[in-house]
Structure 1
Amino acid sequence: MTDPLFGIDREPAILGPGAVHVPGWLGRGQQEYLFRACVDWAAARPPRSIVLPGGGKMSVRTLSLGRHWSPYRYDDDEVVPPLPAWLVRAARTGLEAAVAVDPLVAAPHAGTPDTSHPDASTPGADYTPDTALVNLYGRGSAMGLHQDRDEASLAPVVSLSLGDACTFRFGTPEHRGRPYTDVRLESGDLVVFGGPSRMAFHGVPKVFDGTAPAWCREVLGAEPGRVNITLRETRPPTLGG
């Protein structure tokens, strides 16, 4: 699939073992639906700029669905909008699309972020994220390289992009430095990472302001910026059935 505007090869790509980029996975109707849902979620609980334990403040504003996230933990003390079942189904479908490109996405992983929670699950049709983080990138926003390591499960992370394009940087689980892969994400793109790449460092060093499809501004009545929705399983897997 080639982008007619930029002439860029837009075929699915493997960013690392178990990490897949599927361009244009969401159609316009699905993106509009997600945009409107984001407006409703933000009205129910306004997104906030996260203050890190060291005192730094993230340039990205965040809201949680399902379970509240704060660095570096999830809790149920704060009430957040529920994670809708339709978004869980979308995440499962996205995982299936990524596994079709690279089966390692769903491979079991030997390590865990928390050794008190042994991970014996193999993600698949039973993939059931319980949390989504909605990140809103305004002008000049970026996100440094980091690991998604606050979850007690190593099931894959499913990521959906809306609005402005960005450079997505995907590295290795070992450290923040090279080697890493830079890929341009457009509105409607899907990224899934699991298996050997579940703990890979990743980030967004640059957002291309004003590059969202024109219809985004028509739907929202304003510049949308970049919106990223990442779905995760945060609780330890159930063992033994």
Structure 2
Amino acid sequence: MADLLSGLRPGESWHGEGVLHLPGFADAPVLWDALQPVLAAAPFRHLVTPGCKTMSVSMTNCGEVGWVSDRTGYRYDALDPLSGRTWPDMPDVFRMVARRAAAAFGAPDFSPDACLINCYEVGSRLTAHQDRDEQDLGQPVVSVSLGLPGRFVIGGAQRAGPKQAVLLEHGDALVFGRSARLAYHGVLPVKAGTHEMTGPRRISLTFRKAG
């Protein structure tokens, strides 16, 4: 831990063992430009949970596989269920920022094959959950935020219990893994506002090694 902390830049911080916040880490305009052809090929959609509830957050994917949800369960799939085609390729700049953030966390070999792209309209939220659909839970999860700020909350391995909130702003990256890999986490309802790049929305790019 001491070695990792000594390599942080001003403004970077650990929020408990296994969670690293990197303020202003990403070149947001470059990521935003690279995102547009992805959205043209695989637009945002609201998925349905196995309990038949429609998620308030709309989402899409790029990469070798994409995370999907329907009445049959949660899973990764190589095909977009809306189009029946493979997901758009992950832009090189996406992969590069994910690898750089993972390296800052101490995972230089991280090589994401999936990027889940979430779109939060004002009031949208992500309830507390674990990321456990990946084959290798030793790999970290990397998230990059664009647009309106959002409060990311993370706790422990049980749904109930104390949680801490991290304010994620435009261009911030957050990495969690190790003892926090199966921590319950979510996003509080996004507050009203308008961002010059994304409008009244928050976009998150979440990178995982699924296979």
TM-score exceeds 0.5: yes
Measure, in 2, the Cα distance between the counterparts of 1:206 and 1:97: 29
Highest CA radius of gyration, 1 or 2? Answer: 1
Measure, in 2, the Cα distance between the counterparts of 1:86 and 1:187: 16
Distance 1:211 1:172, change over 3 A: farther
Gaps of 5+ in 1: 1-9, 100-123, 236-241
Shift of 1:176: 1.7
Shift of 1:160: 0.2
SS in 2 for 1:87: helix
Identity across the alignment (%):
39
Deviations 1:58-110 (A, max 9, x none): 111110111122131112243110112332222111112233xxxxxxxxxxx
In structure 2, the residue matched to 1:12 is 12
In structure 2, the residue matched to 1:152 is 135
Distance 1:38 1:225, change over 3 A: same
Deviations 1:27-85 (A, max 9, x none): xxx21111122222111111110100101111111101111221311122431101123
Does residue 1:59 correspond to 2:17, yes or no? Answer: no
Measure, in 2, the Cα distance between the counterparts of 1:22 and 1:128: 19
In structure 1, the residue matched to 2:83 is none
Measure, in 2, the Cα distance between the counterparts of 1:184 and 1:170: 11
Deviations 1:124-155 (A, max 9, x none): 33211100000001121111011111111120
* Contact 1:152/1:234 (<8 A) preserved: yes
In structure 2, the residue matched to 1:121 is none
In structure 2, the residue matched to 1:226 is 202
CA RMSD of aligned residues (A): 1.6
Q: What is the letter of the counterpart of residue 12 of structure 1?
A: E
Shift of 1:16: 2.4
Q: 1:4-153 alignment to 2 at 5 Å? A: 11-26=11-26, 30-66=27-63, 67-71=65-69, 72-78=74-80, 79-99=86-106, 124-153=107-136
Q: What is the letter of the counterpart of residue 62 of structure 1?
A: M
Q: Which has the larger displacement, 223-232 or 82-91?
A: 82-91
